[in-house]
Amino acid sequence: MKYISTRGRIEPVSFNQAVMMGLASDGGLLLPESIPTFSRDEIDELAKLSYPELAFAVFTRFIGDDIPADDLRRLIQSSYAAFSTELVAPLKEVDGLYIQELFHGPTLAFKDVALQFLGNLFEYLLQRENRSLNIIGATSGDTGSAAIHGIRGKENINIFILHPHGKVSPVQEKQMTSVLDDNVFNLAIEGNFDDGQRVVKEIFADLEFKQRYSLGAVNSINWARIMSQIVYYFSAYSQLPFEDRKDFTVVVPTGNFGNIFAGWMAKQMGLPIKRLLLATNANDILSRFINTGIYATAQAQPTLSPSMDIQRASNFERYLYYLNDCDTKKLEEMMAVFSGSGSLEIGKELFAKVQTDFNATRVDDPATLATIKDIWQKTGYILDPHTATGVCAANRLRDQESKIGTIVCLATAHPAKFPDAVEKAIGQPPLAPPAIAALEDLPCRFDLIKADTDAVKAYVDE
Ligand SMILES: *Cc1c(COP(=O)(O)O)cnc(C)c1O
């Protein structure tokens, strides 16, 4: 399988090159040349597989023979052995809904599903090509810890993660700084998340430095992350009772459009998803787009679901490319309009298409808290605030339509990662699972550093 850029200005590349490239070198996002499909019979065969076997079946369609089958099996096996349940992404029945728990990886958020695999994949490709890589990124919490846990202890690869000192949650800080492997560097920045991001951007803009240290990124635009996320939509189908499999709706709390784009891909591949319902918090650029056809940024505001506090969805361009029937010229024009004015209107015809692809709802903090409380009172199950935006969206849909059918809500984080929001909702924090309770006593290591590009460069240098 070859990979092309949404901007159409690079020669097609292999899967391996696409993974190492991250962002396409013409500024676009990488996508497979064609979307592989499964017949309904094949999908019912897939439904009999274990999670790693399922991942193998899906991945091979995207990788072709770029990676020998035995090697790929081994990479998948070791990635998902890091999860605390063999199902990897188990479905739970809660209040007439199915909750798909994506938080059984090492950092208890769904980003582990992709980053555990990406870490192993990077190591494998680098060893094969006898190269090394230095990953640099800024985090506000979840992505940084999942990336560190994906890369720790790997050969030929270092990771430098900048987090705002004292401004990430205690659990997130511990999850990052208690990793003492030699290839992990935690930099606590004297500043906020935006300062960290600015520093990382400036470092990447220094092409000489970037090349000298062979810098790379692990952000959500890497194709291997989307590919990894497609698998759990198939896994949800496999776990549904037979009579519920036909035409189910999936509800996805989203910020960067990564998770829901993976669901859209799964549907194009033939999975019989009836509807994809997107939930945003008060940072609602995506739900406004789906309900009005206008994609316009607004000031980002902090909410109880911080991993969705995003006003510029980095994966959105991938969907826009398909919406424009793969017309790279038209897409490039649209992206130029958006980056010039911060706003884009797609017109009637495309808007009609969007509305057949997605439904969307905006869920503010009071509604999020009310949902956590309601589900807890009814069932004893505790939702994390991100997942709660999705469950609230599902409930609104159920109120509107009596015959909605099966609904699967993706649970993106364990509630114990966000104890303050949970306590606000139900008057008590959730019970910490062993992985979080154990963090208390672990020694930590980080280096405090000025939010200054030269200072961070000097650190990497050393
Ligand atoms: C990253 C994250 C999200 C948003 O995922 P997208 O890929 O941006 O859609 C939602 N919930 C949690 C807990 C996250 O960490």
Kindly report, residue by residue over 395-445, the tens digit of the pLDDT: 999 999 888 899 999 999 999 999 999 999 999 999 999 889 999 889 999
% residues pLDDT > 90 (the chain): 85
Q: What is the pLDDT of residue 207?
A: 87
Q: What is the pLDDT of residue 219?
A: 75
What's the CA-to-centroid distance between 81 and ligand 1, angstroms? 22
Q: Which two tokens stand for residue 96?
A: 């007439």
In a 3-state reduction of DSSP, which class is residue 19? helix
Q: What is the pLDDT of residue 193?
A: 83
Amino acid in the structure at residue 125: L
How large is the average pLDDT for residues 257-262?
Answer: 96
pLDDT in tens, 288-333: 999 999 999 988 899 999 999 888 888 999 999 999 999 999 999 9
Give the C-alpha separation, 144 to 186, whole Å: 9
Q: Relative to the CA of 413, which ligand 1 atom is closest?
A: 13
Tell the residue nearest (CA) to atom 7 of ligand 1: 258
Mean pLDDT estimate for the chain = 95
What's the CA-to-centroid distance between 309 and ligand 1, angstroms? 9
Where is average pLDDT lowest: 36-40, 193-197, 276-280, 378-382? 193-197
Q: What is the pLDDT of residue 310?
A: 84
In this model, does residue 168 exceed pLDDT 90? Answer: no
How large is the average pLDDT for residues 188-210?
Answer: 89
C-alpha dihedral, 103 to 279 to 226 to 271, nearest 10°: 100
Instruction: Kindly list the catalytic residues.
Output: 111
How large is the average pLDDT for residues 188-202?
Answer: 89
Helix-helix angle 328-341:316-323, to 10 degrees: 130
Residues 6+ apart with CB under 8 A from 97: 391, 394, 407, 408, 409
% residues pLDDT > 70 (the chain): 100
Q: Relative to the CA of 142, which ligand 1 atom is closest?
A: 15
Ligand 1: lining residues by beta carbon, under 6 Å: 109, 111, 142, 220, 253-259, 307-308, 386, 412-413
pLDDT range class, residue 167, cuts 50, 70, 90? confident
Q: Relative to the CA of 256, which ligand 1 atom is closest?
A: 8
Q: What is the pLDDT of residue 345?
A: 96
Domain residue ranges of the chain, discontinuous segments joined by +: 91-108+224-426
Q: Relative to the CA of 254, which ligand 1 atom is closest?
A: 9
pLDDT in tens, 344-360: 999 999 999 999 999 99
Max Cα distance, the chain (Å): 63
Amino acid in the structure at residue 338: F
Q: What is the pLDDT of residue 177?
A: 97
How many CA atoms within 13 Å lie on the side-chain side of 406?
22
What's the CA-to-centroid distance between 308 and ligand 1, angstroms? 6
pTM passes above 0.85: yes
Apex 437 CA angle, 435 and 443, nearest 5:
90
Q: What is the pLDDT of residue 313?
A: 87
In this model, does residue 220 exceed pLDDT 80? Answer: no
pLDDT in tens, 105-153: 999 999 999 999 999 999 999 999 999 999 999 988 788 999 999 999 9
Topology of domain 91-108+224-426, CATH: Rossmann fold (3.40.50)
Where is average pLDDT lowest: 15-19, 67-71, 120-124, 198-202? 198-202
Answer with the residue of higher pLDDT: 375 or 167: 375
pLDDT range class, residue 201, cuts 50, 70, 90? confident
Tell the residue nearest (CA) to atom 1 of ligand 1: 307
What's the CA-to-centroid distance between 211 and ligand 1, angstroms? 30
Element (H, E) at 100: strand 97-101
Mutate to test the pocket of ligand 1, among 102, 104, 111, 383 (most ligand atoms within 8 A of CB): 111
Tell the residue nearest (CA) to atom 8 of ligand 1: 256
In this model, does residue 205 exceed pLDDT 90? Answer: no
How large is the average pLDDT for residues 34-61?
Answer: 98
Q: What is the pLDDT of residue 440?
A: 86
Query: 80 vs 7, 150, 283, 367, CA distance in Å?
Result: 34, 11, 32, 34
What's the CA-to-centroid distance between 320 and ligand 1, angstroms? 20
Residues 6+ apart with CB under 8 A from 45: none
